[in-house]
């Protein structure tokens, strides 16, 4: 059974539809710690603003509970950012699972003639490279995935995929049983479906 964490944020219907494309129909949407602890896999989706999302997790006691989980856990977008040490968005303290910080894109650090094509948020298709771990089995270097974000996890020892936009950042993170994608696998077509299928098979 797959548990999708309920903390009043996230693109839940898109995640459910994406799970269906992998053939998975055994899922539950919950904030119940007992249910989460017994699930085979846990998904922490996220859309929105980091500090308010962390408040929702904290209200349920999930900010300290999620790091104790021992089964595979996948964060998506803001869900991944909350698993980092901190975020510049709302000066948010994260769960500290991944040993990196989340920064805001700053186009002014590049040449002025590129500013017209490099907007924030970073929205649309981009590539992932430097792929590591079984999360990317069957996914080729340079595969295209879908992003919608203004903040990004910095490169670190937990980086398992990179993307370049304004600067190079962690497209995905992995540490022990925890994984996170800054991109949206549920919106990334066949590549995203393969990544989700790989997660379900861990």
pLDDT in tens, 56-70: 999 999 999 999 999
Taking only the tens place, the pLDDT of each residue in 79-110 is 999 999 999 999 999 999 999 999 999 887 66
Residue of 85, 89, 149, 184 marked active site: 184
Taking only the tens place, the pLDDT of each residue in 139-156 is 999 999 999 999 999 999
Contacts of 186 (CB under 8 A, 6+ apart): 11, 14, 15, 17, 18, 45, 76, 192, 196
The CA-based angle 56-66-159, given to 5 degrees, is 105
Count helices and strands (H / E) in the chain: 6, 13
For the chain, give every domain's residue range. 2-201
How many angstroms separate the Cα of 78 from the Cα of each of 20, 99, 117?
22, 16, 24
Known catalytic residue at 85: no
In the chain, pLDDT over 90 holds for what percent of residues?
89
Confidence band (pLDDT; 50, 70, 90) for 175?
A: very high
Determine how β-strand 151-153 pairs with β-strand 101-104: antiparallel
Known catalytic residue at 186: yes
Residue of 34, 49, 77, 84 marked active site: 77
- Measured between alpha carbons, how far is 137 from 133 in angstroms, rounded to an integer? 8
Was domain 2-201 assigned CATH 3.40.50.300?
no
Global pTM reads: 0.95
Residue of 84, 89, 186, 201 marked active site: 186
Known catalytic residue at 24: no
């Amino acid at each position: 059974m797959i548990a999708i964490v309920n903390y009043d944020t996230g693109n839940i219907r898109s995640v459910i539809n994406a799970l269906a494309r992998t053939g998975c129909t055994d899922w539950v949407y919950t904030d119940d710690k007992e249910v989460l602890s017994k699930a085979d896999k846990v998904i922490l989706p996220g859309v929105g603003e980091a500090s308010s999302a962390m408040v929702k997790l904290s209200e349920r006691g999930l900010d300290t509970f999620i790091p104790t989980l021992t089964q595979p856990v996948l964060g998506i977008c803001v869900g991944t950012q909350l698993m980092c040490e901190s975020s510049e968005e709302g000066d948010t303290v994260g769960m500290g699972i991944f040993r990196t910080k989340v920064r805001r894109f700053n186009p002014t650090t590049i040449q002025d003639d590129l500013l017209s094509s490099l907007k924030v948020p970073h929205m649309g298709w981009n590539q992932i490279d430097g792929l590591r771990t079984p999360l990317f089995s069957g996914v080729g270097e340079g595969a295209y995935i879908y992003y919608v974000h203004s903040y990004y996890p910095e490169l670190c020892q937990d980086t398992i995929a990179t993307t370049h936009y304004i600067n190079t950042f962690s497209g995905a993170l992995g540490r022990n049983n925890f994984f996170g994608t800054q991109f949206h696998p549920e919106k990334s077509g066949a590549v995203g479906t393969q990544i989700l299928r790989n997660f379900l098979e861990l």
